[in-house]
């Protein structure tokens, strides 16, 4: 999943391994509080496969979830995955304590539906067109590092990104809370195995600890935190609205009126008088 991007030289670290346990436990408590029962190099999960740059990835897929964000999207019409267009309203924010209380439409959202997402009618159950879920889709956007890259990871390592759809959100939330309570670690402190399972005519994404190496080695946590800072621009990037703007109906220019004095005169031919015999 790594690209051709040239890697920057790795920073030298001392022989003393930093103890990250306190910082990891603190971060675990923060992300645990965000999960209450619930741009770029993206991994597709269409059809139950993990696809990255046209390659189908193996399952289970071992990764480090370097960081993640809350993403809400509302489409003013039926979403067509074969002809996707940007949402009418969306919100995005890095996971943190109380993020759901302050999550609000992005400044670039074309048609904000409410001041805050928690108060929005479109973010209520039973508002989607099928009358079951929410019209506004609650998701998570993950920044992922392949576990195979841990050995050589540095600040130039390319990350991949993946969206956790609404139907898989409870599995992700449950996983975050479980590792926080049991291991006292947030997602970036463990190796996570990603897999898919059939669910209601589609597929769900499952999250489990890696059996061979459940925790990220302490000597790698420094660079993981550096990648966490470096991936924020991509992690929090808004949708591309150029297609939406291009589909706006063009305004017709008003017809030009020709001044009366310049208008051509209409000539009427007189009928010849009939001869009387």
Residue pLDDT, tens place only, 93-141: 998 877 888 999 999 999 999 999 999 999 999 998 877 789 999 999 9
Q: Please list the helix, strand and coil fractions of the chain in percent, rounded to the nearest 5, in that order.
A: 25, 25, 50
pLDDT at 78: 72
**C-beta separation of 194 from 165 below 8 A:** no
pLDDT at 19 over 80: no
Percent share of the chain, pLDDT over 70: 74
CA neighbours closer than 13 Å in the CB half-sphere of residue 185 = 20
**C-beta separation of 113 from 89 below 8 A:** yes
**C-beta separation of 2 from 148 below 8 A:** no
DSSP alpha helix (H) spans, the chain:
21-34, 99-102, 169-183, 221-230, 232-235, 242-246
């Amino acid at each position: 999943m790594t690209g051709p991007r040239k890697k920057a030289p790795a920073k030298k670290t001392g022989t003393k391994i930093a103890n990250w346990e306190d910082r990891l436990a603190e971060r675990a408590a923060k992300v645990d509080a965000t999960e209450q029962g619930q741009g770029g190099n993206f991994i597709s999960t269409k059809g139950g496969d993990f696809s990255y740059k046209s390659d189908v990835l193996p399952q289970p897929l071992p990764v480090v979830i370097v960081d993640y964000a809350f993403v809400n999207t509302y489409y003013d019409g039926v979403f067509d995955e074969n002809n996707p267009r940007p949402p009418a309203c969306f919100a995005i924010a890095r996971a943190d304590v109380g993020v759901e209380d302050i999550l609000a439409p992005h400044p670039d959202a074309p048609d904000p539906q409410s001041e805050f997402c928690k108060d929005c009618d479109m973010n209520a159950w039973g508002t989607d067109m099928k009358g079951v879920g929410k019209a506004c889709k609650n998701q998570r956007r993950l920044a992922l590092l392949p576990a195979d890259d841990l050995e050589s990871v540095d600040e130039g390592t390319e990350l991949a990104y993946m969206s956790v759809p609404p139907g898989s959100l409870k599995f992700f939330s449950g996983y975050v809370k479980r590792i926080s309570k049991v291991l006292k670690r947030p997602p970036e402190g463990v190796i996570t195995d990603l897999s898919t399972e059939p669910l209601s005519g589609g597929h769900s994404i499952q999250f489990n600890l890696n059996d061979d190496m459940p925790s990220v080695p302490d000597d790698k946590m420094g660079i993981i935190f550096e990648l966490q800072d470096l991936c924020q621009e991509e992690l929090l990037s808004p949708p591309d609205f150029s297609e939406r703007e291009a589909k706006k109906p063009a305004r017709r220019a008003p017809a030009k009126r020709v001044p009366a004095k310049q208008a051509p005169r209409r000539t009427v031919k007189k009928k010849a008088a009939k001869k009387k015999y």
